[in-house]
Amino acid sequence: MTTLSIFDFSQPDEAKKVTDDSSEIRALLAEQSVRFEQWPTKDLPDDASQDEILEAYREEVESLKAECGFQTADVVSLNPDHPHKEAFRQKFLDEHTHSEDEVRFFVRGQGLFYLHFGDQVFSVLCEKNDLISVPDGTRHWFDMGPEPRFTCIRLFTNPEGWVADFTGDDIASRLPRYEAMVGGA
C-alpha cells in the first residue's frame, strides 16, 4: 500500500504516517510541489519488454510529454537476482538533485523516494500504478531495498537521461532505510 511518512528533525524517531488515503498523500505532496497520481492498472506479464510497457501506457506517457515537455521515456527494471543490484542501490542512496523533474511511474513492484524539504523528509513508498514527479532542484534519494523488485517508466527532458548532482549531505544515512520502513526485503 502506498505510504507517506513525514520525518521532522525535531523528532527524528517519530514519523507521521499516511497510508489509507491516497487523496491525503496527494495533497500533502502537492503542498511541496510534488506531483503524485495513480494510473489505471494495465494487465502486463512480469517479463513484458520495454516496448510492450511503453505501448501499454502510450496515452499516459504522451499526455505527460505534451504537458511537461519531456523528450524521452524509457523503462528501468530490477529484480533480486540482478548481479549488480547492490551497486545500483548504492548509486541512488545518497542525497542528490537534478536539473529536471524526476518522474517515475511504477509498472510493478515498489521503492522508497525520500524528499528533503527544510527540516522535514517525506518518505514515499511508491507501488504499482503510482506516478511521482519530484521537481527539479529538490533534494532527494531513492531506496529500492536489498532485494529490489520493480519496473518503472522514466520520463526525461534531458536526452542524456538520469544526471545527478550529489549534495554531500549525509542525511540519507541518518534516516531509516527501506528494510526498516517496509519490513524486510
pLDDT at 47: 87
Please report, for the domain that includes residue 14, its CATH number: 2.60.120.10
Whether residue 183 is contained in a domain is answered as: no
pLDDT at 184: 55
Whether residue 182 is contained in a domain is answered as: no
Whether residue 89 is contained in a domain is answered as: yes
pTM recorded for the entire structure: 0.92
Whether residue 44 is contained in a domain is answered as: yes
Dist. CA 95–CA 169, nearest whole Å: 7
Domain that holds residue 78: 3-175
Query: Is 84 within any annotated ligand binding site?
Result: no
Cβ-contact 41, 106 below 8 angstroms: no
Alpha helices in the chain (DSSP H): 22-30, 50-56, 58-68, 85-92, 178
107: part of which helix (H) or strand (E)?
Answer: strand 102-117
Helices and strands (H, E) in the chain, number of each type: 5, 11
Whether residue 115 is contained in a domain is answered as: yes
pLDDT at 26: 95
Cβ-contact 38, 130 below 8 angstroms: yes
pLDDT at 15: 86
Dist. CA 70–CA 113, nearest whole Å: 21
Instruction: Encode the chain (185 residues) as per-residue pLDDT tens digits.
Output: 899 999 998 776 788 888 867 899 999 999 999 999 999 889 899 889 999 999 999 999 999 999 999 999 999 999 999 999 999 999 899 999 998 899 999 999 999 999 999 999 999 999 999 999 999 999 999 999 999 999 999 999 876 666 788 999 999 998 999 999 997 54
Number of domain units in the chain = 1
Cβ-contact 107, 152 below 8 angstroms: yes
What the block records as the C-alpha cell of 57 is: 501506457
Query: Is 82 within any annotated ligand binding site?
Result: no
Whether residue 184 is contained in a domain is answered as: no
Whether residue 185 is contained in a domain is answered as: no
Whether residue 180 is contained in a domain is answered as: no
